[in-house]
Structure 1
Amino acid sequence: MSAFMRDVEKDILGTTLRTFENRLNVNESKMGGRWKNYILRDLFPILVAGKSKGLNHIEKSDSGISYLGATNQNNGVLCFVEPNANAIQKGNCIAFVRNGEGSMGYSVYKAENFIATSDMTLGYNQYLNKYNGTFITTIADRIRGKYNFGYKRSAGRLAKEVLTLPADNNGNPNWEYMEQYMRNIESKQIYAYLKCITTKRER
């Protein structure tokens, strides 16, 4: 029985490995190589501030909702709190940190709903997803060096920030390319892990 299960496990691993190997055959270069500057407020037609006034006004809960604040750790999550319908903000957005020592200028992609402090501005775009969102945050974080306590990242300055991103043939952000690029990175990591497991099982 154990030999049978090992064969089944080996077959599943082999099939999964081939699946991710096929994904890596996507040729990223066919999707274009132009890059263009975009003003942040044009990339994100909806820019809204976080609603929370601070943790003194809300109850912590280990089983609650994510509470975002001025940190570059834990994907922006300071803690978890009891849901408050008036403060909850929709996920699938990029949260830009506008204030906070050591974290001003950072950004994070959030898939799930959350509560955020007023130190954050949330950017929404209909084409956004976790893959191109992660791509954009990597680019956006490069600007953080320009801000300090003498030069705050105000909502106005944030809206005028310039991001250099891949462009399609019409000059629009190439959302498909950014998504595929990040998917390929994910697939490479999974493929390497599965290859390692398969090699160990074959020894």
Structure 2
Amino acid sequence: MAKIDTNGWKEFKIGKLFEIKRPVARSQAKYEDGNIPFVASGNFNNGVTKWCKPKDDEVLDAGNCITVSPIDGSAFYQAKPFLGRGGAGSAILMLHNAGLTELSGLFVSSVIRQSLTKYTYSDQLNSKTIEDEMIRLPVDTSGEPDWAYMDEYMSAVMKESEASLESLKQALRG
């Protein structure tokens, strides 16, 4: 894929684009194995540390959001409802925007991850600091985030990846 041209992009405050929430206090150790992802402050596997069985009548955290680790700024798109690690200072942050799609969520989570690499265990993010962080995004003709462009770009990335995987499969069979 060709290098993306960011010259026409504009800076946006994360807090202006997203509603920022934290999950209720939860610890993965208190859950039995199940089929709901437990998302914590990890920087791999989409932040999923375990698959759990929710407690009776427990409300899951809404999917279609971006989760951010306060420890290192790792950001992942969560398509489906999940159990988020809440409670202590390293509880994840959840970013919600009603206009987010899976593809734009993947795009923006990559931008956020790149923008927040300055955070470490000794200098963690919190609900206030992430609100004021700036990210650069493509804009439409009215100067607002170009969600359609993000969807189209990520669709092209996914198609290219699928084609590469298919070529690899054929080469391995070959």
Fold similarity call, TM over 0.5: yes
RMSD, matched Cα: 2.6
Pairing 1:110–2:81 present: no
Give the 3 Å change call, closer, same or farther, for CA 149–170 of structure 1 in structure 2.
same
1:93 corresponds in structure 2 to: 65
- Per residue, is there more helix in 1 or in 2? 1
1:129 corresponds in structure 2 to: 101
Normalised to the residue count of structure 1, the TM-score between the two structures is 0.73
- Larger Rg, first or second structure (1 or 2): 1
Structure 2 Cα separation of the partners of residues 196 and 96 of structure 1: 32
2:26 corresponds in structure 1 to: 53
1:12 corresponds in structure 2 to: none
- Residue identity in the other structure for 2:96: Y
The aligned runs of 1:157-168 (5 Å cut-off) are 157-168=129-140
C-alpha deviation, 1:144, in angstroms: 3.1
Any idea what SS the aligned residue of 1:38 has? strand
Identical counterparts, % of pairs: 22
- Residue identity in the other structure for 1:109: Y
Pairing 1:38–2:12 present: yes
Structure 2 Cα separation of the partners of residues 94 and 88 of structure 1: 15
After superposition, what is the alpha-carbon deviation per residue over 1:7-34, rounded to whole angstroms, capped at 9, x for unaligned? Answer: xxxxxxxxxxxxxxxxxxxxx99xx972
C-alpha deviation, 1:88, in angstroms: 1.0
Structure 2 Cα separation of the partners of residues 199 and 149 of structure 1: 43
**Alignment: residue pair count:** 167
- Residue identity in the other structure for 1:113: P
- Which runs of 5 or more structure 1 residues have no equivalent in the other structure? 1-27
After superposition, what is the alpha-carbon deviation per residue over 1:37-94, rounded to whole angstroms, capped at 9, x for unaligned? Answer: 00001111x21101133124x3221x32100111012110010111234341110100
- Residue identity in the other structure for 1:38: F
Give the 3 Å change call, closer, same or farther, for CA 193–116 of structure 1 in structure 2.
closer
Pairing 1:68–2:36 present: no
Structure 2 Cα separation of the partners of residues 179 and 52 of structure 1: 33
Instruction: Tell whether the 8 Å contact from 1:51 to 1:115 is kept in structure 2 after alignment.
Output: no
Any idea what SS the aligned residue of 1:146 has? coil
- Residue identity in the other structure for 2:16: D
Instruction: Tell whether the 8 Å contact from 1:93 to 1:110 is kept in structure 2 after alignment.
Output: yes
1:151 corresponds in structure 2 to: 123
- Which runs of 5 or more structure 2 residues have no equivalent in the other structure? none
The aligned runs of 1:172-183 (5 Å cut-off) are 172-183=144-155
